[in-house]
Structure 1
Amino acid sequence: MLVHELHALRKEVKELDAHNTSLTSELKRSKQLRSAAEEKADLATRKGSYAKKANAFLGILTNIATLAGIMFALFVDSIRFVVAILCLISRFIWRISTHPGECFREWGRCVWVVIRVIITVLLLSFIS
Structure 2
Amino acid sequence: MSDWVSFRPPGTPHPFALAIASDQAVFVSGLSGHDPETGELPDDIPAQARQAMLNLKASLEASGSSLDEIVWFHPYVTKREYALEMDEVIKEFIGEIPPASGALVICDLAFPGMRLEFEAVAVKGARRVAHPANG
Q: TM-score range by the shorter chain?
A: under 0.3
Task: Select the structure of larger CA radius of gyration.
Answer: 1
Structure 1 length-normalised TM: 0.17
The structure with more helix, counted as a fraction of residues: 1
Higher relative contact order (CA 8 A, sep 6+): 2
Structure 2 length-normalised TM: 0.16
The structure with more strand, counted as a fraction of residues: 2
